[in-house]
């Protein structure tokens, strides 16, 4: 009958999937038990009791059928242990411990020979020893992937077994190290850095990793000169350019990993340097600067067309209607809608300037990237305000006269009412300037990281 278990069990699972009650699992367990599938029935009785710990029938059955299952697992362990089937014996005992642990949590204690605990520990020791020796042999044969499989087996039971940690480091790092050395010999620094970065994720103390990593990183690092504009006629634009220069410098120093800014060079402040870089007749001078500074790229920029715009505030007069109910007597209440004057106020404030940059290859004097971007920040307000002080209930206020407005033309006034508490001030130009400058700094960061490679 056992060979039909998968189909039978699948049918049972489909049967109980629509209802996860204790009784359903109990009935399924009974069917499995009648089929002679004691082990499977025990698991279902356990599930039934877990779903309803007060199910007496499930508890009784779990005690009897579960004991048979535990005995079967114990027998499997004993047989595998004595025939030195290490993996099978470990699997059997771990199933036994897991099952009896679950039943014990439900106060159903199942028995098995306690001497098997010591036998299990011996099996673990033998298993670790066998896999450790295999891993050691694989490392010596430079079969590192095979070694890692055996190491994983050891770590499952005892991560600190002998020199397992060392074997794992060697198995993980050595092929990467050899690949990095080969890449460096071929001056393929990018590939070497990839391999060395993987070693770094495991350890930074492997052989001469530190020296190789620093060499590869240095060769991958690109250097550039940031050139500050000097010819701006507008003092306010000049101020922006100086602010950006200081923040660009700080950003490049703190945030770029494989891109280095060359500081303290007189070329940064040379008048007309940006124009000179784009002039092909100055190739010799540019190459001389490149050789003197080690620059791979030049970054030039300027700010122009700075604008500060205020719109409004503008006021548009409107009439609202306040619902007023007056009780005339016990049965009569008169509803009136009294006009209330208010204004819709709108206004906006905008700060902007055009930011233009060029990135130039110091070796070829070719423009790698050039773009003009309008940097802008703005703020707007739109709110309602009463023409005179208002002491009524704003929830009784309507933007139309309900008595004179057709029902189809009426709408929910909630949003309109909220506009009496809406924002009624604008951000200062200083605030907008700070936001705009922040956008320019982010734009600088993106333009450098995307184009200097």
Give the domain extent around 282: 227-453
Q: What is the mean pLDDT of the chain?
A: 90
User: Which of 220, 246, 262 lies at the terminal end of a domain, its last residue?
Assistant: 220
Within this chain, do residues 210 and 239 fall inside the same structural domain, yes or no?
Answer: no
| Mean pLDDT on 369-387 | 97
pLDDT in tens, 2-45: 444 455 555 555 444 434 589 999 999 999 999 999 999 999 99
Question: Does residue 127 lie within any of the structural domains?
Answer: no
Least confident interval from 277-281, 285-289, 347-351: 277-281
| Mean pLDDT on 147-160 | 96
Percent share of the chain, pLDDT over 70: 91
Of the pLDDT bands very low, low, confident and very high (cuts 50, 70, 90), residue 266 is low
Question: Does residue 124 lie within any of the structural domains?
Answer: no
DSSP bridge pairs for 377: 351
Are the C-beta atoms of residues 55 and 25 closer than 8 Å to each other?
no
CATH number of the structural domain spanning residue 101: 1.25.40
Four-point Cα dihedral 133, 137, 142, 144, nearest 10: -20
Within this chain, do residues 394 and 318 fall inside the same structural domain, yes or no?
Answer: yes
| Mean pLDDT on 178-196 | 93
pLDDT given for residue 12 in this prediction: 52
Name the packing angle between helices 56-82 and 86-105 (round to 10°).
160
**CA–CA distances in Å: residue 106 to residues 30, 70, 149:** 20, 16, 38
pLDDT in tens, 281-340: 567 777 888 888 889 999 999 999 999 999 989 999 999 999 999 998 888 999 999 999
Residue 190 in this model has a pLDDT that exceeds 70: yes
Q: Hey, what are 105's tokens?
A: 């949590």
Within this chain, do residues 216 and 231 fall inside the same structural domain, yes or no?
Answer: no
Are the C-beta atoms of residues 227 and 268 closer than 8 Å to each other?
yes
User: Which of 169, 195, 220 lies at the terminal end of a domain, its last residue?
Assistant: 220
Q: Which residues contact 247 (CB under 8 A, 6 or more apart)?
A: 437, 441
Q: Please count the structural domains in the chain.
A: 3
DSSP bridge pairs for 370: 358
Q: Hey, what are 225's tokens?
A: 């000169």
What's the start-to-end Cα distance of the chain, in Å? Answer: 68
User: Which of 220, 253, 280 lies at the terminal end of a domain, its last residue?
Assistant: 220
Q: Hey, what are 51's tokens?
A: 């779903």
pLDDT in tens, 87-105: 999 999 999 999 999 999 9
Within this chain, do residues 305 and 443 fall inside the same structural domain, yes or no?
Answer: yes
Comparing 275 with 179, which gets the higher pLDDT?
A: 179
The burial class, CB within 10 Å (0-12 / 13-18 / 19+), for 427 is: middle
Question: Does residue 131 lie within any of the structural domains?
Answer: no
Question: Does residue 48 lie within any of the structural domains?
Answer: yes
Within this chain, do residues 94 and 215 fall inside the same structural domain, yes or no?
Answer: no
pLDDT given for residue 141 in this prediction: 97
Within this chain, do residues 53 and 184 fall inside the same structural domain, yes or no?
Answer: no
Residue 232 in this model has a pLDDT that exceeds 70: no
Q: For residues 383 and 378, what is the distance between their CA atoms, to the nearest angstrom? A: 17
Q: For residues 294 and 251, what is the distance between their CA atoms, to the nearest angstrom? A: 20
Question: Does residue 125 lie within any of the structural domains?
Answer: no
Residue 269 in this model has a pLDDT that exceeds 70: no
pLDDT given for residue 265 in this prediction: 56
Q: What angle do CA 157, 160, 166 make, to 5 degrees?
A: 120
Question: Does residue 121 lie within any of the structural domains?
Answer: no
Of the pLDDT bands very low, low, confident and very high (cuts 50, 70, 90), residue 394 is very high
Within this chain, do residues 20 and 56 fall inside the same structural domain, yes or no?
Answer: yes
Q: For residues 26 and 117, what is the distance between their CA atoms, to the nearest angstrom? A: 31
Q: Phi, psi (5° rounding) for residue 387?
A: -70, -35
pLDDT given for residue 2 in this prediction: 44
Name the packing angle between helices 115-140 and 164-185 (round to 10°).
20
Within this chain, do residues 311 and 434 fall inside the same structural domain, yes or no?
Answer: yes
Percent share of the chain, pLDDT over 90: 78
pLDDT in tens, 41-97: 999 999 999 999 999 999 999 999 999 999 999 999 999 999 999 999 999 999 999
- Rank 121-135, 227-241, 353-367 by mean pLDDT and report only the highest: 121-135
Within this chain, do residues 196 and 165 fall inside the same structural domain, yes or no?
Answer: yes
Within this chain, do residues 238 and 281 fall inside the same structural domain, yes or no?
Answer: yes
Could you count the other beta carbons within 10 Å of the beta carbon of residue 403?
11
pLDDT given for residue 331 in this prediction: 86
pLDDT given for residue 3 in this prediction: 45
For residue 319, the SS3 value is strand
Residue 381 in this model has a pLDDT that exceeds 60: yes
Question: Does residue 134 lie within any of the structural domains?
Answer: no
Within this chain, do residues 257 and 316 fall inside the same structural domain, yes or no?
Answer: yes
Within this chain, do residues 44 and 165 fall inside the same structural domain, yes or no?
Answer: no
Question: Does residue 397 lie within any of the structural domains?
Answer: yes
pLDDT given for residue 276 in this prediction: 56
What does pTM read for this prediction? Answer: 0.58
pLDDT in tens, 406-424: 999 999 999 999 999 999 9
Name the packing angle between helices 115-140 and 144-157 (round to 10°).
160
For residue 273, the SS3 value is helix
pLDDT given for residue 272 in this prediction: 47
pLDDT given for residue 217 in this prediction: 83
């Amino acid at each position: 009958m056992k060979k039909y278990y998968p189909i039978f069990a699948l049918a049972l699972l489909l049967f109980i999937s629509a209802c996860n009650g204790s009784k359903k699992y109990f009935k399924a367990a009974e069917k499995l038990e009648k089929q002679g599938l004691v082990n499977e029935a025990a698991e279902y009785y356990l599930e039934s009791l877990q779903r309803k710990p007060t199910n007496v029938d499930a508890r009784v059955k779990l005690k009897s059928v579960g004991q048979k299952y535990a005995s079967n697992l114990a027998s499997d362990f004993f047989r595998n242990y004595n025939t030195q089937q290490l993996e099978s014996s470990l699997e059997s005992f771990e199933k036994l411990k897991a099952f009896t642990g679950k039943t014990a949590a439900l106060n159903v204690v199942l028995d098995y020979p306690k001497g098997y605990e010591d036998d299990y520990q011996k099996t673990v020791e033998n298993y670790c020893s066998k896999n450790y020796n295999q891993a050691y042999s694989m490392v010596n044969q430079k079969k590192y992937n095979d070694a890692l499989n055996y190491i994983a087996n050891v770590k499952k039971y005892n991560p600190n077994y002998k020199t397992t940690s060392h074997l794992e480091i060697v198995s993980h790092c050595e092929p990467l190290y050899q690949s990095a050395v080969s890449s460096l010999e071929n001056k393929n620094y990018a590939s070497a850095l990839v391999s060395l970065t993987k070693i770094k994720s495991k350890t930074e103390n492997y052989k001469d990793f530190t020296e190789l990593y620093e060499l590869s990183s240095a060769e991958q690092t690109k250097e550039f000169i940031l050139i500050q504009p000097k010819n701006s006629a507008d003092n306010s634009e000049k101020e922006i350019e100086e602010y950006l220069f200081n923040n660009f410098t700080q950003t490049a120093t703190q945030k770029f990993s494989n891109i280095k800014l060359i500081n303290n060079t007189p070329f940064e402040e040379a008048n007309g340097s940006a124009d000179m870089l784009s002039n092909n007749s100055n190739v010799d001078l540019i190459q001389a600067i490149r050789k003197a500074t080690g620059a791979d790229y030049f970054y030039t920029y300027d700010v122009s067309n700075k604008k500060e715009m205020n719109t409004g505030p503008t006021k548009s007069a409107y009439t609202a209607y306040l619902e007023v109910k007056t009780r005339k007597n016990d049965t009569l209440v008169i509803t009136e809608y009294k006009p209330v004057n208010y204004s819709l106020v709108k206004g906006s404030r905008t700060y902007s300037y055009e930011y233009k940059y060029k990135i130039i290859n110091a070796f070829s004097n070719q423009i790698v990237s050039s773009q003009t971007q309008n940097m802008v920040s703005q703020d707007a307000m739109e709110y309602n305000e009463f023409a005179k002080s208002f002491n009524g209930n704003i929830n009784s206020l309507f933007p139309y006269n309900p008595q004179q407005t057709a029902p189809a033309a009426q709408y929910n006034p909630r949003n309109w009412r909220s506009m009496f508490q809406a924002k009624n001030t604008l951000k200062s130009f200083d605030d907008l300037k700070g936001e705009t400058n922040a956008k320019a700094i982010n734009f600088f960061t993106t333009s450098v990281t995307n184009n200097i490679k």
